[in-house]
Structure 1
Amino acid sequence: MTHEELDELESILVPMKFSKGEMILEEGEVCENIYYIDKGLIRQFYFKNGKEVTEHLGADRSIFMCIESLFLEMPTHLQVEAIESSIIYALPKRRLEKVALHNVNIQILYRKILEESLILSQVHADLVRFETAGDRYKKMCKLMPQVVLRAPLVYIASYLQMTPETLSRVRATTLID
């Protein structure tokens, strides 16, 4: 990308700071942004049968969004919480699409962001569908080492769709390559 293209992207970024425990997006709100975590840690979660279920964990230099809400412009069932003090940049979808209309490189970047999001969702879905508890944890350690080191174990267990007790047993018996 050229300096001009980067400047144009930078002009639409909205810097945001969140304290630990602060909500970034609440259930019932419409997600209007793609978010980039410059520094920090977040979790996307929802409630099922009265329990919190962690759907996504994101750390420094990663992207998150509530994709269904973003594209259908409907209220989300998800919530996003900062689980560490976080510096996040919001990239408003409408402004990004407007800029992308006239710029092929920004169109490509937009597509790559969406591809990455879809791939991460598929990797997580396959992980919980096809892998054993031990293999799920090993893969997470390999793919998301900063999240494993920094996120509370209860959120990691939920993300991997296991109980905290199962995660504790897995961690006690797992050697990481």
Structure 2
Amino acid sequence: MHEILLKYLSKFGSLTEQEVKDIADNLIVQTFKKGTILLHEGEIATKCYFILQGCIRQYHLTDGEEKTTAFFTEEQAVASFSSASQQIPATHYWSCVEDTVAMVGYLDREQEMYKKFPKLALITRELMEQDFGKTQESFATFIASSPEERYELLLKNRPDLLQRAPQHQIASYLGIKPESLSRIRKRISLKK
């Protein structure tokens, strides 16, 4: 696990070898089994995660039905900013879709880490800005797309998810029923 973290941190040219080692020694890396719930609706988020290996799903329960709103995989952060910063209950769940290795950040210790490692704050900000931009684009595209177009975009941009998550979760993520997803897949395979 530690090697995965070192390899990831080494990607940032702004960090010296010693800084990479020092930061890695101060971060907590944990392994979570498939099915582990990391955050329940109604809890106040006190942790954030950065996935080194694995997949985490964010979902809401609406009238007893799970609605998948996001999948997070390698080199993606999982954070509930509104819950943590405003100290309000989360409106969603985080669940491990597969065994997952992640850096665990304790939000109450975040500033302490940034004081100790100022470059880490800059890297975190840069990553958050990139992630926010991608999220905005994804949301706009989702709203403007048909279910078939959403599936085609998923095939193009994140094909690994189709192998990693169950079909009913993929369908929920696309905003459709599993039967509709089956029909879309069939139509697309006939086009080829």
TM-score (norm 1): 0.87
Residues 60, 92 of structure 2: 8 Å contact kept = yes
- Percent sequence identity is 25
Corresponding residue for 1:128?
142
How many residues end up aligned between the 2 structures? 177
Q: Corresponding residue for 1:146?
A: 160
> Which of the residues 46, 56, 61 maps onto 2:70?
56
- How many Å separate the matches in 2 of 1:96 and 1:53? 30
Displacement, 1:32? 2.4
* Pairwise CA distance, 1:103: 4.8
| Structure 1 pair 55–12 and aligned structure 2 pair: CA distance change class (3 A) | farther
Q: Select which of 131, 151, 171 maps to 1:117.
A: 131
Consecutive unaligned residues of structure 1, counting only runs of 5 or more, are none
Uncovered stretches (5+) of structure 2, i.e. residues with no partner: 1-14
> After TM superposition, which residue ranges in structure 1, 4 or more long, deviate above 6 angstroms?
none
What is the Cα-based RMSD across aligned positions, in Å? 2.2
**Structure-2 separation of matches of 1:7 and 1:174:** 47
More relative contact order, 1 or 2 (CA 8 Å, 6+ apart):
1
| Mapped partners of 1:156, 1:125: distance in 2 | 16
Q: Secondary structure at the match of 2:48?
A: strand
The amino acid that maps onto 2:23 is L
Task: Please say which structure displays the higher CA radius of gyration.
Answer: 2
Distance 2:118 2:101 in 1: 28
Do the aligned residues in 1 keep the contact of 2:32 with 2:100 (CA within 8 Å)? yes
The 1-side partners of 2:155 and 2:75 are apart by 17
Give the corresponding residue for 2:59: 45
TM-score, normalising length from structure 2? 0.81
User: Given the superposition, is the C-alpha separation of residues 103 and 85 from structure 1 closer, same or farther in structure 2, using an over 3 Å criterion?
Assistant: closer
